[in-house]
Amino acid sequence: MARLDTDRLVDTRNGLISRELFVNKDLYQQELETLFTRAWLFVGHESLIPNPGDYFVSRMGAESVILSRDKAGGIHVLLNTCRHRGMKVCLYDEGNTTHFTCPYHHWSYATDGQLVGVPQYDTLYPGMDRAKWSLIEVAQMANYKGTIWATWDKDAPPFLDYLGAAKEHLDLALDCRDGREGGSEAFLGVHKWIIPCNWKLPAENFCGDTYHNPSHRSVDMIGIGPSARSGTKGRRDDELKGAQHVWVSFPAGHGIHSAIQPAMMPYAEAFRDTPVIEEYFRHCYEERQRRLGEKSRLLPFVGTIFPNSSYHGRQPRSICMWHPHGPESTEVWRIFLVDKDAPAEVKDLLRHFYMRYSGPAGMTEQDDMENWNYATAGARGVIARRYPLNYQQSMGAGKDDDPVAGHVSVQITEENSRRFYARWSDYLAGRDWDVLMGRRDGTPRRAAAE
């Protein structure tokens, strides 16, 4: 396969992105080979596999992987394919086991991936070194506050370097509501569904496409938030009212949208339907201010950790994986987060809100799915593809490291998307980690395909 020159397709200087990115089969294959094999990908949450022998089958790129806890309690991410003929060694979505025994010829692997059983080994495979035929394991894995990330590239920088200053924003999703570090867990039940769209559209949307707000007008009109029964309209309560929104891009390609309060503000009510829950969140909010001081002014909204892991930091607090599933198909998996030690009634209220807000049954996101679907379809036409898409919003309006680390815009911007695609192009061109991490510039962005 000849590599396409992606720098021609991504023209960030003029704010033009080719529609090829959303439909082209060769580009899709190039992504699987050059991007999903190198970047750090979100795999799951340790709370999905609390005990030795627990496993949760996940995905990296288009491939099935097993998130496994071995009998000593160590966590592994293993490619779900037998070393003999390639059969899937785990056919279940989750469970607990001592071994992954391949259904085909019964090679058997321990939960750390070691090949431990080969039928008639002595007769049929004299001298074969079983240690060389373990399940294929990721090159690097990181457990960050319970979230598990992995990469197939041994040369990739450590996860925290990769995350960079986006860490303080992702933390806002992973830390307890009262400011203690970490402490979140995943609800059981993982949303999995298929959207007829290219995976980059939702990934880009979560980089901070605040401009698409009007598409959610129907849910704003009816009101579905935790104060909706008390008469508040909108899809959630406006806890960020009065805050300065910031859209921040990071060298590794991540894009986030957070908000900074002008001062240490009093708690804004957001759960008016249920006074005891309102009290709980008021307590958490004040406790967080006490713990973090001025730092508590930073509040989360959404973000994409490059390339395809997105979080919602507040409500509905969750992490999404936009798995590539074909040029025009995305298989989405989402886990929902909650403070592990939140009272039962708080978990229950949040769970119900998450379900009515998010995913294919979610009154808010249903409209996103429709848009991503038909935006992808709109990139298919031969004539349409002659015309690149307009990514010119707030060109040059950002500043570096003010008021937070990263390239910051204080107005709605497509800069996060432009930089997301510039980095995407660097992966597809096979550039080295210095370029991928923004330590050295790759190539000037040339004009988009005419």
Partner 1 sequence: MNDAAATPRPTRDLDFYLLKEEVAAFLYEEAELLDQRRYTAWLDLLADDLVYFMPMRRNVKAGEHAARENTREGSDISWFEEDKWTLAKRCEQIMTGVHWAEEPLSRICHMVSNVQLLEALPSAAAPQTVTARSRFLVYQNRVETETYIFVGKRTDTLRRVDGAWKLARREIILDQNVLLAKNLTVFF
Q: Is 105 in the site for ligand FES (CB under 6 A)?
A: yes
Q: In the range 81-100, which residues lie near ligand FES by CB under 6 A?
A: 82, 84-85, 87
Q: Which is nearer to ligand FES, 86 or 242 (CB)?
A: 86
User: 115 has which bridge partners?
Assistant: 109
CB of 319 to ligand FES, least distance (A): 32
Q: Which stretch binds Fe ion (CB under 5 A): 117-125, 260-268, 290-298, 362-370?
A: 362-370
Q: Binding residue for Fe ion (CB under 5 A) from 168, 178, 368, 426? A: 368
Q: Is 192 in the site for partner 1 (CB under 8 A)?
A: yes
Q: Is 106 in the site for partner 1 (CB under 8 A)?
A: no
Q: Which of 114, 186, 117, 116 is nearest to 146 (CA)?
A: 186
Residue 82 interface partner, choices ligand FES, Fe ion, partner 1, none, CB cut-off 5-8 Å depending on type: ligand FES
Round to whole Å and give the CA distance between 441 and 384: 31
Task: Answer whether 159's CB lies under 8 Å from 144's CB.
Answer: yes
CB of 102 to ligand FES, least distance (A): 3
Q: What is the dihedral of CA 414, 39, 313, 331, to 10 degrees?
A: 90
Round to whole Å and give the CA distance between 303 and 122: 53
- The site for partner 1, by CB under 8 A, has a size of 44
Q: Binding residue for partner 1 (CB under 8 A) from 19, 191, 407, 418? A: 191
Q: Where are the beta strands (DSSP E) in 325-377?
A: 330-339
Q: Is 356 in the site for partner 1 (CB under 8 A)?
A: yes
- Which residues, in sequence order, are CB contacts of 21 under 8 Å at separation 6+? 9, 10, 27, 198, 200, 379, 421, 424
Q: Which is nearer to ligand FES, 91 or 264 (CB)?
A: 91
User: How big is the CA angle at 150 (ends 177 and 137), to the nearest 5 degrees?
Assistant: 140
Task: Answer whether 362's CB lies under 8 Å from 370's CB.
Answer: no
Q: Is 283 in the site for ligand FES (CB under 6 A)?
A: no
Q: How far is CA 391 from CA 310, 327, 384, in A?
A: 21, 21, 16
Residues that bind ligand FES (CB under 6 A): 82, 84-85, 87, 102, 104-107
Interface residues with partner 1 (CB under 8 A)?
A: 91-95, 187-197, 215, 217-219, 221-224, 228-229, 331, 336, 348, 351-352, 354-356, 360-361, 363, 366-367, 369-371, 373-374
